[in-house]
Structure 1
Amino acid sequence: MIVIAELLGIPAADQPVFRRWADALFDHTDVDPSAPVLEAGRETMTRLAPTIREMNDYLLDHIRGHRRAPGDDLTGRLLTAEVGGERLDDREIVGFVGLLLLAGHITTTATVGNTVLSLDEHPGVAAELRADPGLLPGAIEESIRCRTPFPRLARRSVIATRIGTTLVPAEAILQLWITAANRDSRVFADPDRFDIRRSPNPHLSFGHGIHFCLGASLARLEARVALRILLDRYRDITVVAPVEERNPWVMMSVNRLLLEVRS
């Protein structure tokens, strides 16, 4: 979170506020999996509206402050970015900054925790990573495939199309299960096996096409740096039960992860 705040020129001292927003937006325990998507969406937006308004007001003040006194940071560059003579308006920049600030930090945090869980389940892999740090990127990709931070995504069909044998009408709301795609045996050999040498590893955890995650490179870098430090600092890392996890219908991540470590 501190890294992203500094990139955006936002005070890192406000981190507790950002964490409160993230918890409100992503840590729901009362989600009904059987509820229709649109109905669940309306209920969720009603519940989250106060948090979203508070966040948008905060970010709008930040952006307007940068318009008065531009800084050499990502927010300042967004204000001057231009394509075909068009620039982003304040509302568009609020959406961009809010997405990067919240989704950008919480998914990387999830990846670090999820990878630690995976290494605890496969102690031999942790030893391999200490012996050969070059294997760490592959371990992170496999962790993201097996424990996908956002297990499902909603999409709206723009035109009528066909997926396999199913006809999808225009304007339909689709619930896409990324976790299922990431364990498709037609794409991944032995899909339930945690294999840090899996190559290729075309998982969809970062999305695809025009929906590909804009922060994927940053997330991978942050996870690699954090986990490298963790493995270098401690020769032994053991997860202590119980593990407190988020509601996996919303996000696959841990809220609280106790570790016993030895230097």
Structure 2
Amino acid sequence: MDVNAYLDRIGAPRTGPADAARLRALHHAHLTAVPFENLDIHLGARISLTAEDLFDKIVRRARGGFCYELNGLFALLLEELGYTVTRLAARVFGAERLGPPYDHLALLVSPARAHDQRWLVDVGFGDHSIGPLDFTSRAGQDDPGGRFLLVDTPDGDVDILRDGKPQYRLELRPRVLDDFAATCWYQQTAPESPFTAKTVCTRLTSGGRITISDRTLIVTAADGRAETPLATGEALRAAYRDHFGVRLDPDAAFRPPPPL
């Protein structure tokens, strides 16, 4: 991995100790620079989880991705910088039930020479915590993204709550990225997958969040929320380019979701 190219991609300094302060800064930088997006699924492009393909997509081509891609590559960067990283599987809470096994990938990270510290790191859940969460604490944690609480379950898992609402359930057994390949394929192809239902591209901004959902540009800030329809292909491509640095081929067309 070209570590300096990755750090330049997210606008982070090239030097610094592998401590909690730098982890917090890297986390924030990643969220503001690299969008959470599922465009490849709707462009008919296969998502690869190999390190080379992830680096090519996110760093060289300045794209984003979803959890397996974003947290998958971020884990490699943190390890190169000297952090200890454990990959964890999670199941996302839906309206009625938990999602499938390996529904989500999150990271448990310890700084160099501080292995008593453990941080829940997640740059791949879309709108979530702005900074890492203290995994050793079971008290409420205030973050610009909300108030977070980690709750142990009777089965030895950990539920992550945001503003009192369960987000996902972490299993604490260490995993490798290949473990997520089957569910990654399911998320790309199944009609039941939330990622096949519509396109989304979103990232953190200094004042809130900017999102393109299907053909609507959504800007949220402290003073409210504004929505702008993107009625033409030209307007849609311009919005992706100007707000996310994503350059779509003029001939590219989003395919319809799988039939129910």
Question: What TM-score, normalized by structure 1, do the two folds share?
Answer: 0.28
The structure whose Rg is larger is 1
Structure with the bigger percentage of helix: 1
**TM-score, normalised relative to structure 2:** 0.28
- Which structure has greater strand proportion? 2
